[in-house]
Amino acid sequence: MLKAALECYGFSVHTASSPKEAITLYRDYHRDIGMVLLDYLLPEMSGELVFENLQSLNPDVRVVLLTGCEETVADKMFKRGLRGYLQKPFSLPDLTQKVRDAIDDPGLACSAPQSPA
């Protein structure tokens, strides 16, 4: 549903069905990905662990966290470069604004992902 909604606003959207797939997708297509929407509660690994994996590929990855948990779960991620946070439920205008803010942030320089260890 989010994919269709964001595409209606002109964004190109890649989706992943698992945390591992998301990490692989980012590794393979990082040049096409301006930012990542990441849920906190995921099967197999936490959103925080996915965030760490993405940062190991690209320390400047732009991530907006979507969660039903309290903002405190995102506090330590903000200290490590999280670009934004949206508490569920959220409105489509709020989501598109967070996405646009993360993509347009002039203070960030996107760097190429590093080789996996």
Q: Residue 107: what pLDDT? A: 56
Q: How do the domains of the chain map onto residue ranges?
A: 14-104
Query: For residue 68, what pLDDT is reported?
Result: 81
What does the pLDDT profile of the chain (117 residues) look like in tens digits? 889 999 999 999 999 999 999 999 999 998 889 999 999 888 889 899 999 999 999 999 999 999 887 767 788 888 889 998 898 899 999 999 999 999 987 654 433 334 343
pLDDT of residue 63: 94
| Alpha carbons 98 and 64: distance in angstroms, whole number | 7
* From the candidate CATH numbers 3.40.470.10, 3.40.50.300, 3.40.50.2300, 3.30.565.10, the one assigned to the domain spanning 14-104: 3.40.50.2300
Rounded to 5°, angle at Cα 87 from 41 and 99? 95
